[in-house]
Structure 1
Amino acid sequence: MSRDPNRRPGWSAGLDIGGTKVLGVLLDGGGEVRHTVRVPTRPGASGVVGTAEEVVRRLCDEAGLGVDDLVGVGAGVPGLVDPATGTLSHAVNLGIHERELELGGMLGARLGGVRVTVENDLNVAAVGAARVLGLSGDLAFLALGTGVAAGLLLGGELRRGRRGAAGEIGHLPYRPGGPACPCGQRGCLELYASGAALDVAWPPRNGRPAAADLFAAAAEGDPLAVEVRNGFADAVAAAVRLLVLTCDVEHVVLGGGVADVGEPLLRAVAERSHGQADDSPFLRSLAVPERLRLVPRDQPVAPIGAALAARARVAGGPRTVVV
């Protein structure tokens, strides 16, 4: 039962469901984060649904709300998502191998019938980044993590594509004839511009993530670190260029684990982007480096975007817009 049905209208919960943790936020009616909860992910269909339910209930308990006080719950997940039905498939990082897991329906039932919106995690990150950074206009959220992919927010709406593959630029060939990619192609961009690629090129040392260690060593003048950093930044700049040339987005927001490096990453990518345009008046006219943004480290953009997506879905139907 709701503890106060007239209290705090418009509140929604958002979840970022990953292979290691579920991070949840509770947004008030104005879109401000009021509470956060983080718990380890329990794998498999029942484990993921149970973990998600736990996070939502803990968020509501901290705010003194009942679950049915929420206008909706949003869940950002890796894998292929059908937002219209709330189904998820091929989310191997979550231990989910079912072709069509009814995640939205299962979680909604566990929460007493509250409406659950399920979206790809990068899509909700794009929505959250737009809100957190106060950006209008077309936007791409470029995630530099285990792989490389982008969430696209165009004309205020998410661009998912025919089969949910819009923004999968990590599998565009960057160096034809390069190493084999798990996708079956060779020389894919994510083999050069991802956190996993950095782990190979600059194995972690000193107990720090590879990206942090690499950029620190490069700043100290280590010649090998400078070479590896520049090669990585060049690949990321190529990803940014692809997003601008294909979608002409006004903003490209760098996110994912590698983005924790912060301003040094932004500067390196901007410098390489300038270099790629040296011989092209056309590229220079597009001002690609000026479109770069960095996601704030202390802002959980994916669950924020998931909560906003849930509220927008209730208010406006199946198309997710920034609210």
Structure 2
Amino acid sequence: MRIGLDIGGTKIDAVAVAPDGGTVDRLRVPTGFGPDAVVGTTLGVIRTLADRTGSHPTAVGIGIPGLIDHETGWVRHAVNLGLTEVALGPLVAEALGAPVRVENDVNVAALGAAQAMQLDGAQAYLNIGTGLAAGLVVDRRIWRGARGNAGEVGHIPVLADGPLCVCGQRGCLETVASGSALAIAWPGHAGSAATAVFDAADAGDPAAVAVRDRFVAGVASAVRILVVTADVESVVVGGGLATLGDRLLVPLRAGFDDDARSSAFVASLGLSSRVLLAPTDRPLAALGAAFLAPESAVTAA
């Protein structure tokens, strides 16, 4: 049995996966804050799943946001969890006596999407949440690039005089196509800014229509970049804003079809058929973590 954990800022979502790939149990608990709380809760979740399934894990995978050293299992920096230079992988491996892999949460979500959707070949998972980033998977294995930055499309500048991005550049794609971008462009609304914008646009508010269309165009740019530069077979749109569903997918595909009518090059890319929505009813990051390759797992320090 493998156990996969998606450690988020507010909760840990964990699954136990049988050798045939089927999910046999799932557990969600509050994460906690700081090294002691996060490590303790992680171990508690794993032990609870092991007790409930009656099986000791043969491997454990952990997806977590922030700067991760996947080779050593150290979390270098995860600001939302209060972690700096924490040996998460080695600590968990030592406590459990099982191999452990720790990976960036978007990368494991990419792996989980490929697994859940039965996608082979080169795939991209475009995570649209507070920020914007992508994970790349080739034949259901994570591809990180030369320095681990593959898929960082959110920090490609697209507006020469655009707003300052958290990365220090101006006009990055993340300042256009992300949850934080929508919250800035459509402030003062309770709940999800994305839902509020799309609802107002559907009701005919011209300001909301402009914000929505700008956002959709930004997502379309991210899809184009991934297809043209990496030539992935599919771009799976996931993350929190994937819950927009067809409200996002339909205008994305319509825009690609319009562009294809005026550009033979765009037509040759087949973008409309290559953009997909991630399933929102499955814990993709936890599933992906469970399928991290065990042969390069870290062990106890």
The superposition leaves residues 92-119 of structure 1 with CA deviations (integer Å, 9 ceiling, x where unpaired) of 1221122xx22111111222x1111111
Letter in 2 for 1:255: G
Q: What is the Cα deviation at residue 318 of structure 1?
A: 3.0
Give, in whole Å, the separation in 2 of the partners of 1:308 and 1:204: 41
The superposition leaves residues 110-151 of structure 1 with CA deviations (integer Å, 9 ceiling, x where unpaired) of 22x111111111111111101111222211000001110000
Equivalent in 59, 74, 85 of residue 49 of structure 2: 59
Q: What is the Cα deviation at residue 180 of structure 1?
A: 0.9
Give, in whole Å, the separation in 2 of the partners of 1:84 and 1:122: 17
Task: Point out the more displaced range, 49-58 or 250-259.
Answer: 49-58
Letter in 2 for 1:108: A
Tell me, yes or no, if structure 1 residue 34 matches structure 2 residue 24. Answer: yes
Equivalent in 228, 232, 239 of residue 222 of structure 2: 239
**Structure 1 segments (4+ residues) deviating >6 Å:** none
Equivalent in 149, 152, 170 of residue 186 of structure 1: 170
Tell me, yes or no, if structure 1 residue 318 matches structure 2 residue 296. Answer: yes
Letter in 1 for 2:244: V
Q: Classify the secondary structure of the residue corresponding to 2:296.
A: coil
* Alignment match, 1:8: none
Q: Classify the secondary structure of the residue corresponding to 2:176.
A: helix
Q: What is the Cα deviation at residue 271 of structure 1?
A: 2.3
Equivalent in 54, 62, 65 of residue 78 of structure 1: 65
| Pairs within 5 Å for 1:1-323 | 11-63=1-53, 65-66=54-55, 69-98=56-85, 101-111=86-96, 113-203=97-187, 205=189, 207-309=190-292, 312-313=293-294, 317-318=295-296
CA 1:276 to 1:197, structure 2 compared with 1: closer, same or farther past 3 Å?
farther
The superposition leaves residues 20-46 of structure 1 with CA deviations (integer Å, 9 ceiling, x where unpaired) of 111111111211122211111112222
CA 1:156 to 1:33, structure 2 compared with 1: closer, same or farther past 3 Å?
closer
Q: TM-score, normalised by structure 1?
A: 0.87
Give, in whole Å, the separation in 2 of the partners of 1:219 and 1:285: 32
**Aligned partners of 2:120 and 2:138 also within 8 Å:** no
Q: What is the Cα deviation at residue 186 of structure 1?
A: 0.3
Structure 2 runs not aligned, ≥5 long: none
Letter in 1 for 2:239: G
**Aligned partners of 2:75 and 2:84 also within 8 Å:** no
Q: Classify the secondary structure of the residue corresponding to 1:37.
A: strand
Task: Point out the more displaced range, 294-303 or 280-289.
Answer: 280-289
Q: Classify the secondary structure of the residue corresponding to 1:164.
A: coil
- The alignment covers a number of residue pairs equal to 297
Give, in whole Å, the separation in 2 of the partners of 1:91 and 1:163: 19
Q: What is the Cα deviation at residue 155 of structure 1?
A: 4.1
Q: What is the Cα deviation at residue 78 of structure 1?
A: 1.4
* Alignment match, 1:5: none
CA 1:126 to 1:31, structure 2 compared with 1: closer, same or farther past 3 Å?
same
Determine which structure has the larger strand proportion and give its number: 2
Q: TM-score, normalised by structure 2?
A: 0.93
**Aligned partners of 1:240 and 1:252 also within 8 Å:** yes
Structure 1 runs not aligned, ≥5 long: 1-10
Q: What is the Cα deviation at residue 229 of structure 1?
A: 1.1
Task: Point out the more displaced range, 241-250 or 126-135.
Answer: 126-135
Give, in whole Å, the separation in 2 of the partners of 1:155 and 1:35: 26
Q: What is the Cα deviation at residue 225 of structure 1?
A: 2.0
Identity score, percent: 48
Letter in 2 for 1:180: L
Q: Classify the secondary structure of the residue corresponding to 1:184.
A: coil
Give, in whole Å, the separation in 1 of the partners of 2:180 and 2:129: 7
